[in-house]
Amino acid sequence: METQTAKILDGKALSAKIQQSLSAQIQELQPKFGRPPGLAVLMVGDNPASAAYVRGKERACEKVGIASFGKHFPTQTSLAELEDTIAALNNDPQVDGILVQLPLPEHLDSVKLLNQIAPEKDVDGLHPVNMGRLVRSEEGLRSCTPAGVMRLLEEYQIPVQGKQAVVLGRSILVGKPLALMLLEANATVTVAHSRSHEIKSITQSADILIAAVGRNGLVTGEMLKPGAIVVDVGINRVVDASGKDRLIGDVHFESASKVAEYITPVPGGIGPMTVAMLLQNTVKSYLTRF
């Protein structure tokens, strides 16, 4: 029986290393600046997965010395009330970053709300101004998950330039910004999605394959080029036979890890990197204020 040959891209370890470095930076700067960096996370409703993510972000902030200005709103909160809250946070000198936890309840227009965030405080990198800067390869706050993917590849010294990169998924959160970041790093990029034909032949051409679709086990070992770099951005909750729920990715880890050279685990791969990039964006925004 073939055993796993792929080396693990350990996002958890790299995230801890980045957080340690941010913590040291904040300890040094806080006495000079007279306050810590501040992050406001807005959550609407009681989606249990969102609540868990928000708690994780707040704990990470506490660990590195970022002040949390979390606000939790009931499900029926109006768009106007949330817009007022964002306007106040835009003007709050204690707050460097503002993040709206998605998904929002159905009656709220998330695009309209995200567009209210001042671009320099948009630590999720989703404002059209920051997206536009990414398109033009200009300095700006970058989307956390794709930035985390790029940072992880860099840490393991995986060359991107000239490589065939395939991104599965075209969401505004991951697929599109990640394709732009890979282009910026001089990869040849293909974006495949639910309407693409011959997915298997597309994935088999990839030196670097990034799965960001949200369908568990979509990518199997036979869909990969031997020696490919496989990055799994998918986070899917499944309930096993005993009734316990667990997280699995878009990649069928067992079969893929026999073919790939490097692979990210789920959990412990890109999830922790997203949080690390959020903290890094908050500190970056903090530094521009002084």
Catalytic site residue 101? yes
Quote the distance between the C-alpha of residue 21 and its chain's center. Answer: 19
Q: The tokens 């904040």 sit on which residue? A: 26
Confidence of residue 243 (pLDDT cuts 50, 70, 90): confident
- Paired tokens of 106: 């159905």
φ, ψ of residue 97 to 5 degrees: the values are -135, 140
φ, ψ of residue 227 to 5 degrees: the values are 85, 10
Q: Would you state the pLDDT for residue 246?
A: 87
What gap in Å lies between CA 186 and CA 81, rounded to an integer?
43
pLDDT digits (tens, 9 = 90+) for 120-146: 999 999 999 999 999 999 999 999 999
Whether 169 has a binding-site annotation, put simply, is yes
Would you tell me how many other CB atoms lie within 10 Å of the CB of residue 226? Answer: 11
Q: Over range 245-264, report the average pLDDT.
A: 95
- Paired tokens of 218: 């979509």
Confidence of residue 238 (pLDDT cuts 50, 70, 90): confident
Mean pLDDT of all residues belonging to the chain: 96
* Catalytic hit among 10, 19, 57, 225: 57
* Catalytic hit among 10, 96, 122, 124: 124
- Calculate what percentage of the chain has a pLDDT beyond 90: 90
* Catalytic hit among 19, 96, 101, 225: 101
Cα Rg of the chain (Å, integer): 19
Whether 65 has a binding-site annotation, put simply, is no
What is the 3-class SS of the chain, one letter each residue? CCCCCCEECCHHHHHHHHHHHHHHHHHHHHHHHCCCCEEEEEEECCCHHHHHHHHHHHHHHHHHCCEECCEEECCCCCHHHHHHHHHHHHCCCCCCEEEECCCCCCCCCHHHHHCCCCHHHECCCCCHHHHHHHHCCCCCCCCHHHHHHHHHHHHCCCCCCCCEEEEECCCCCCHHHHHHHHHHCCCEEEEECCCCCCHHHHHCCCCEEEECCCCCCCECHHHCCCCCEEEECCCEEEECCCCCEEEECCECHHHHCCCCCEECCCCCCHHHHHHHHHHHHHHHHHHCCC
pLDDT digits (tens, 9 = 90+) for 2-45: 577 899 999 999 999 999 999 999 999 999 999 999 999 999 99
Strand partners, 219: 251
Whether 235 has a binding-site annotation, put simply, is yes
pLDDT digits (tens, 9 = 90+) for 206-217: 999 999 999 999
Q: Would you state the pLDDT for residue 242?
A: 86
pTM assigned to the model = 0.95
Q: The tokens 């639910």 sit on which residue? A: 194
Catalytic site residue 161? no
Instruction: For the chain, list the domains and their CATH numbers.
Output: 34-118 (3.40.50.10860), 143-271 (3.40.50.720)
Q: Would you state the pLDDT for residue 245?
A: 85
Q: Over range 239-258, report the average pLDDT.
A: 92
Catalytic site residue 27? no
pLDDT digits (tens, 9 = 90+) for 188-203: 999 999 999 999 999 9
User: 235 or 278, which is more confident?
Assistant: 278
Whether 171 has a binding-site annotation, put simply, is yes
